[in-house]
Structure 1
Amino acid sequence: MSENPIGTVADRNRLVELSVEETDDGRAFFVDVTDPARDAGLPEDASLDWMVDRDVEAETEHAGPVLVFGEIEAEEAETATFPTEFLHEDDRLLLSVPPTLLGTDDGLDLDLDAYADDTPLLFYPASLGEETGERGGTSRRPAPTLANPIALVPLRYADGTPYEPVPRRDVDGESDPIAEATLERRGENAEPRSATVAAAVDADLIDEMVAESDVSRAALVDVLEAIERRRVIDADYAVADNQPVTVDDRIVVVVDRETWDDVLADALDADAGPVDSARRLHRKQAERLLRAGEVDDADESGESGEAFEEPYEAVVLRREID
């Protein structure tokens, strides 16, 4: 058995971790999909199937292969490509991931022999709607129709290394600079890179906050991604005199300080230092977006609006597009 139990995740409210177990039949790979599966309304006794999809960039903002699972009819299980069911463990829903979808040209191109549980691959879960049809699949057969499909978008490894298929197919010769750089980074105590953070904040602002505070980048990223993933605060919490403002692909929600402290910070269940840094970072991001929006408004109307002021705080989220 590995040191981490099957399905353990770094932050269950944030990303999905690919765990590995040593079994009598070789290495087995699992994901804990409790939250995304329940959020999507998948029955816990559902018959499921896996596929790899390379055509979901519009839904996931990810150009490349993603894992997708979803519900199939019970009678389809015998003819499904990778039929499976939820494994129940301590009120968690686990799924076994077929190695074929992880380590081949049809899959994510992971080096399964070298894959380690101490630097697991992290996925961002994304709902694809009510149904996905024959949209690629594997070389074995077209993908089946899946109900309530959920995409697991490979984001980065736990040590901060961005996901890259290894080796890259577009590099000739024995030298693979991406693979070499990846291996070199994994040998260090790396932290998540700002550019790969799954939150609605700019990378340079994250770097500035880390530089000016004594909070670790990893702890700050945990809080930022939890705010985006959980969406404890949304437009309904906006103060009456400052309605939510949309700037490009993000939305600024102005809240009072009590809402931040009593609703958001309490729900995050994180240390005070990273939470306070995240608060100041969201405020900086909101001010930057509102200034940009004011410039656009002034160009069109000749005048600009007023940004929010104390004692208000702000939460910046990615805009959800139907």
Structure 2
Amino acid sequence: MIFGALSRLSLAGTRLFSRLDVPPFMSTRPTGTILDDDRLLELRRAEESTDSTLALEMTPVAEHMGASSGDRIDWDVDEYEDEPMLVCTAIVDAQADDAPYPRRLRDRDGDVSAPVPDPLVGADPPEGLGLDLESYDADRPLLFDAISIAETIGFVPFRFDDGEPYRAEPLQGVADESDPVAEETIANERDDDPSPRPETVDAPIDAEVLEAVVDETNATFDALSSVLEELSRQRLVGEADAVGEYPPVAVDDRGICIVPDDEWAARLEPQLSTDDASVLEAARLTHNRQAKRLLAALEDPDTRYDEYDRTYDAIVTDERETAEWEVSEAGST
């Protein structure tokens, strides 16, 4: 399996890449409106690698390339639509001495992964992904989509597992620059648009979480925003609704309440002004994803909450009135 030595692609701002002809368990697009959490590639801890801190899930790509554990690849970084993108090409052992970042594919229980060079993970964009290797949370992995051109595979970072979109830091010398004309145009467009925006929705949900759920579901932004605001206004959840082994948790000015998995259908949904199943499911997903995001941000998290979603749901509230809730402070036991 020889695809030739890796060369820089110089693809910034272009669309030369085409989708891989891959099995249906791969994602259908790199920047997506139709997104399946199970069909993106995770950047994990490289448990069996001594030359890289993190490794990228590669099983579907390896199958496409006809590659297997022990085969060599070489890594680099390029740009795809102004974002840093990992790229790799297969090489033979004789080329390893001339390759910038040669690595071997690894196999663990049939799952192929590729160690990613630390310099490409940690370097500031556009030279790398701009991730902090020491604080990288493997329980909240960065997810990638795979695209291809000729003999090279590109891995486009899309979002984190909790729904937060991946955003590269602005290029040096550009971050502080502004375009007054463009800014005024955007402001005027917003003033003329009466529809809600993520940052203005009156619900205890981060704008990034709301945007990600809208992108991934059939719910419209207006319909989902309306349901989320209704849930916030009506204060439908309290201490009495919480599952016993999961006491409510306070994170900054918000509270997380873990409730039985039938709570949405049995009590919350009938109180809302819509019977659109897709919107209700999107609201449920939004609250669970926001809860996961808040819990993941804790400096001293309670591990009991790591997998609550296998059996239960979560409601996030901006109310922390101890007269109503016996709320545990974040990080306490």
TM-score bracket, shorter-length normalisation: 0.3 to 0.5
- Tell me which structure has the larger Cα radius of gyration: 2
TM-score of the superposed pair, with normalisation by structure 1: 0.44
Q: Which structure ranks higher in relative contact order (CA pairs < 8 Å, sequence separation ≥ 6)?
A: 2
